[in-house]
């Protein structure tokens, strides 16, 4: 069986990377930039908000050990998908909530998860997470990679969301493993 990729944007990529690094079945992670128009952007350009890119994480995972739906649960649990272009004190389009799908089953899974969470009323307002096909992923500078592992007391705006997320997704029925 081959490994698969998943790409998410949920605020500062340092915190979201730390969460996924600790997940069983995740083989590797890489933080970077995607979803914009500037080719080969660097951090200062992305922070300007003029590139259209989001800070994102590209995850390589083993579908025999973790399902894509489980990755979505972790994603929705560890950031606020209801705030537009903001996570905690971090503001700007580079901090938007987005899922960049790699294939049709991933697209269907994220649409379903978003719909289930909205219908269950898990959040006070509707989810604004963008759902779009993955484009070019540009790895961030080396000092951003595994940042919180290298700097355990570094800044992180990750916010644990409601445990109702897990329950709502569980009640929606089992997902399929997408191989």
Token look-up 């000092």 returns: 143
Q: Tell me which of 6, 9, 12, 99 is the catalytic residue.
A: 12
Name the token pair of 24: 């069983």
Q: Give the strand pairing for 86-87 and 90-91.
A: antiparallel
Considering only CA atoms, which of 48, 17, 50, 49 is closest in space to residue 32?
A: 17
Distance CA 74, CA 166 (A): 9
Backbone angles phi, psi at 12, to 5 degrees: -55, 125
Query: How far is residue 133 CA from its own chain's centroid?
Result: 13
Of 16, 155, 146, give the one whose Cα is nearest residue 74.
16
CB 17 within 8 A of CB 31: yes
- Residue 12 annotated as catalytic: yes
Contact in structure between 126 and 82 (CB atoms under 8 Å): yes
Catalytic site positions: 12
């Amino acid at each position: 069986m081959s490994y698969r990729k998943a790409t998410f944007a949920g605020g500062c990529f340092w915190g979201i990377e730390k969460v996924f690094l600790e997940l069983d079945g995740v083989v590797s992670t890489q933080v970077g930039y995607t979803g914009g128009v500037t080719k080969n952007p660097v951090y200062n350009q992305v922070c300007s908000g003029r590139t259209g890119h989001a800070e994102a994480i590209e995850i390589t995972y083993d579908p025999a050990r973790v399902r894509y739906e489980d990755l979505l649960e972790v994603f929705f649990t560890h950031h606020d998908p209801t705030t537009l272009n903001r996570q905690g004190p971090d503001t700007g389009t580079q901090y938007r909530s987005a899922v960049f799908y790699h294939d049709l089953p991933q697209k269907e899974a994220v649409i379903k998860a978003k719909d289930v969470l909205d219908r269950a009323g898990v959040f006070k307002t509707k989810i604004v997470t963008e759902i779009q096909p993955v484009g070019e992923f540009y790895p961030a500078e080396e000092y951003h990679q595994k940042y919180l592992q290298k700097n355990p007391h570094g800044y992180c705006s990750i916010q644990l969301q409601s445990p109702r997320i897990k329950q709502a997704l569980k009640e929606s029925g089992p997902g399929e493993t997408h191989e």
